[in-house]
């Protein structure tokens, strides 16, 4: 994922090496700092481009993905977009399986990139834009059917170590270099768990004193071992109320929760005050970081990722 000063052989070589910015306007008057890695500047407008490339290239190296083989993945849209890009330039047919609860911009983008998109009905009682673990399970069953019937390669972001490696080998080390190692805290809204797992492992190797916080929806603090009162939250791309095999509890300093309203407010403030146009989960990251600076981590230097672009949520109420 190292960007070179040369003509690239394909857009997949432009993945990674995203800029990092100090959110000085949002933190004015607070002790400490928030440094945000602008992952929405990847070609597919999200951090998931990284794991798409890493998973595919690791599978190519170990022989589990054969030339011309179909790739299938369950996605909320961002991993699917990354895979659509990587598969397009590498010549693999790609099928994205997605719950209808996710914003439709993502499905349209994947189709434009040549993917076949299979939309799965939500679980009964689910509201549009609110994907619960139950809705995800329905999409998972559909993804498995396509893998079985087509002899396809399953990218499987919830299980494959390429998800962790993408952030362990690259994202975290870019953060460390860009901040000159001045990181005290890392926070991450948990989706598949790969970003947290990879960044926490790498950053703690650099400095074992770094505190790493997992962020969950206020109504679905499953990973923290607390009661899920409402799985139908609005923070798309995570908080599914399910076990995450890639996430190692030993790397977690503590678990934080963010309400839908806090995530939305932070995403809107990011756009208005910092010029950073991002989605729900990025808002959750920033809301959690701001609370830490006001409370238990006063004076800390906090690193986080801006996960995807607000362009992917224009059909939602995020920027009404």
> What pLDDT digit, counting tens, does each position of 78-97 carry?
999 999 999 999 999 999 99
Range of the domain at 109: 48-154
- Kindly report, residue by residue over 184-243, the tens digit of the pLDDT: 999 999 999 999 999 999 999 999 999 999 999 999 999 999 999 988 889 988 898 889
Q: How many separate domains does the chain show?
A: 2
Q: Are residues 34 and 66 in the same domain?
A: no
Q: Are residues 59 and 142 in the same domain?
A: yes
Task: Give yes or no for residue 2 having a pLDDT over 90.
Answer: no
Q: Is residue 218 part of a domain?
A: yes
Q: Is residue 260 part of a domain?
A: yes
Q: Is residue 40 part of a domain?
A: yes
Task: Give yes or no for residue 140 having a pLDDT over 70.
Answer: yes
Q: Are residues 240 and 287 in the same domain?
A: yes
What residues act catalytically? 48, 281
Query: What pLDDT is stored for residue 135 in this prediction?
Result: 80
For the CA atoms of 160, 162, 165, 170, what is the dihedral angle to 10 degrees? -150
Task: Give yes or no for residue 124 having a pLDDT over 90.
Answer: no
Task: Give yes or no for residue 132 having a pLDDT over 70.
Answer: no
Q: Mean pLDDT of all residues in the chain?
A: 94
Q: Is residue 318 part of a domain?
A: no
Q: Tokens 């399953």 belong to which residue?
A: 154
Query: Given 97, 131, 154, which residue is the final one in a domain?
Result: 154
Q: Is residue 3 part of a domain?
A: no
Q: Are residues 144 and 112 in the same domain?
A: yes
- Claim: this prediction has a pTM higher than 0.75: yes
Q: Are residues 38 and 184 in the same domain?
A: yes
Give dist(CA 131, CA 191) in Å, integer: 12
Task: Give yes or no for residue 40 having a pLDDT over 80.
Answer: yes
**Two structure tokens written together for 80:** 């699917």
Q: Please, what is the Cα angle at 43 between 156 and 319, to 5 degrees?
A: 90
Q: Are residues 191 and 302 in the same domain?
A: yes
Query: Given 106, 126, 154, which residue is the final one in a domain?
Result: 154
Could you tell me the pLDDT band of residue 122, with boundaries at 50, 70 and 90? confident
Q: Are residues 25 and 86 in the same domain?
A: no
Which stretch of DSSP H or E encloses residue 198? Answer: helix 194-206
133 by Cβ neighbours in 10 Å (0-12 / 13-18 / 19+) ranks as middle
Query: Given 120, 154, 188, which residue is the final one in a domain?
Result: 154
Cα 72 to Cα 139, 159, 225, distances in angstroms: 12, 14, 31
């Amino acid at each position: 994922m190292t960007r070179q000063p040369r003509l690239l052989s394909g857009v997949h070589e432009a993945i990674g090496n995203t800029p990092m910015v100090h959110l000085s306007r949002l933190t004015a008057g607070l002790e400490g700092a928030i440094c945000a890695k602008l992952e929405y500047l990847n070609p597919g407008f999200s951090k998931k481009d990284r794991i798409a490339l890493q998973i595919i290239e690791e599978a190519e190296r170990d022989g589990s993905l054969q030339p011309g083989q179909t790739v299938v993945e369950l996605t909320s849209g961002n991993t699917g977009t990354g895979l659509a890009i990587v598969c397009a330039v590498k010549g693999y047919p790609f099928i994205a399986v997605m719950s209808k609860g996710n914003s439709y911009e993502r499905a349209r983008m994947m189709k434009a990139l040549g993917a076949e998109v299979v939309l799965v009905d939500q679980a009964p009682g689910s509201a549009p834009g609110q994907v619960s673990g139950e809705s995800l399970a329905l999409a998972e069953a559909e993804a498995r059917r396509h893998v079985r019937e087509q002899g396809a390669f399953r990218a499987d972001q919830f299980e494959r170590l390429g998800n962790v490696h993408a952030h362990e080998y690259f994202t975290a080390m870019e953060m460390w270099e860009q901040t000159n190692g001045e990181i005290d805290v890392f926070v991450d809204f948990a989706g598949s768990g790969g970003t947290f797992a990879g960044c926490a492992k790498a950053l703690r190797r650099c400095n074992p004193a770094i505190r790493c916080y997992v962020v969950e929806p206020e109504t679905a603090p499953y990973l923290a071992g607390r009661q899920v009162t409402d799985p139908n939250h609005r923070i798309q791309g995570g908080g599914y109320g399910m076990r995450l095999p890639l996430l190692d509890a030993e790397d977690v300093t503590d678990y934080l929760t963010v309400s839908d309203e806090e995530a939305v407010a932070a995403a809107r403030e990011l756009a208005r005050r910092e010029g950073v146009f991002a989605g729900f989960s990025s808002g959750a990251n920033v809301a959690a970081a701001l609370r830490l600076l006001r409370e238990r981590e006063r004076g800390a230097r906090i690193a986080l990722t801006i996960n995807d672009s607000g362009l992917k949520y224009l059909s939602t109420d995020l920027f009404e």
